[in-house]
Amino acid sequence: MVKQMLFLFNHQPTAEQMMDAERTLEVGDIIYPPEDLQALWGRIPPDMAALEPFLEPFKNWLRKSAHPGDFVLIQGDYGATYLMVRFAMEHGLIPVYATTQRKAVEEPLPDGSIRLVHHFVHQRFRKYGV
């Protein structure tokens, strides 16, 4: 069976991330959540006392779409990420996150302030808990 990587991620993956998934994780298929779920993942309400009910649609999507041994890229709201990583592990999935090298460039501006620009370069996928 072809390994899949499912995304719970706030951004579109870069070309480097896609190549890395294919090369190092031997992923054959990339699976994105339906658009409504993808939009929800990026807008998790900060005022919710409990996230479990909110996350149920994501869990249902993984139950339907993932197979044991598939990778799940999980990054976003810290609490939601923790709960979904735990869920993935309990269901035989392999939760990973993308690591980056961060480069900062400072640019002095005419008014005396400084503009700080960050560049993020994908390095690798790392398994949670390792």
113 inside domain: no
55 inside domain: yes
The predicted model scores a pTM of 0.85
Backbone angles phi, psi at 64, to 5 degrees: -80, -30
Q: Output the average pLDDT for the chain.
A: 93
CATH number at residue 83: 3.40.50
Spell out, as residue ranges, where the chain has pLDDT lower than 70. none
Specify the number of domains making up the chain: 1
> Is there a contact between 4 and 67 (Cβ–Cβ < 8 Å)?
yes
What is residue 96's predicted lDDT score, i.e. its pLDDT?
Answer: 97
> Is there a contact between 75 and 6 (Cβ–Cβ < 8 Å)?
no
Q: Using CA atoms, how far apart are residues 62 and 69, in angstroms rounded to an integer?
A: 12
- Compute CA 6 distance to the chain's CA centroid, rounded to the nearest angstrom: 9
77 inside domain: yes
88 inside domain: yes
Q: What is the pLDDT of residues 90-126, one digit of tens each?
A: 999 999 999 989 888 899 999 999 999 988 889 999 9
